Amino acid sequence: MIGFFLAYVSLVLSSCQVFAYQMTAEEATFFSYKFMTMAIAVALPALAAGFAVARTGTSAIASITEKPELFGKTVIFVGLAEGIAIYGLLVAFLIWITGA
C-alpha cells in the first residue's frame, strides 16, 4: 500500500516539476521516466518485502510457540526480509540523485 502511495506521489511530483520549469519535450519525458522508475524501484521491493515478512513471520510465530528460545534467531530472518524494502528505497534515492 505504501509503495502505491509513493508511486502516486512521485508521479504527481514529476508532473509538478515539468510544469514548474520551462522544459523541452525531451527533458519532460526524461523526468517523467525518472520518477516512474523511482516509483517502480520502491513499489516492487515493498510488495516483495510484504510477501517475505508474511511468510517468515508466520513461520517465526509457529516456531516460537514450539520453542520460545528461538525468538532471537527468528527475529533476524524477519528483519532480513524487511531489508528488501529498504534496499528499494535506497535505489530510488540513487536514481533521484543521479540526474543527467
Q: Of 31, 33, 74, which is closest to residue 56 (Cα–Cα)?
A: 74
pLDDT at 96: 85
Query: Structural domain of residue 55, as residue ranges?
Result: 2-97
pLDDT, tens digit (0-9, with 9 covering 90-100), for 34-74: 888 888 989 999 999 999 999 999 999 999 999 999 999 99
Q: Of 90, 75, 82, which is closest to residue 42 (Cα–Cα)?
A: 90
Q: Of 96, 98, 100, 97, which is closest to residue 6 (Cα–Cα)?
A: 96
Domain count, the chain: 1
pLDDT, tens digit (0-9, with 9 covering 90-100), for 1-33: 666 666 666 666 665 554 556 667 777 777 778
pLDDT at 35: 84
Distance between CA atoms of residues 71 and 25, nearest Å: 55
Q: What is the CATH number of the domain that holds 71?
A: 1.20.20
Of the pLDDT bands very low, low, confident and very high (cuts 50, 70, 90), residue 95 is confident
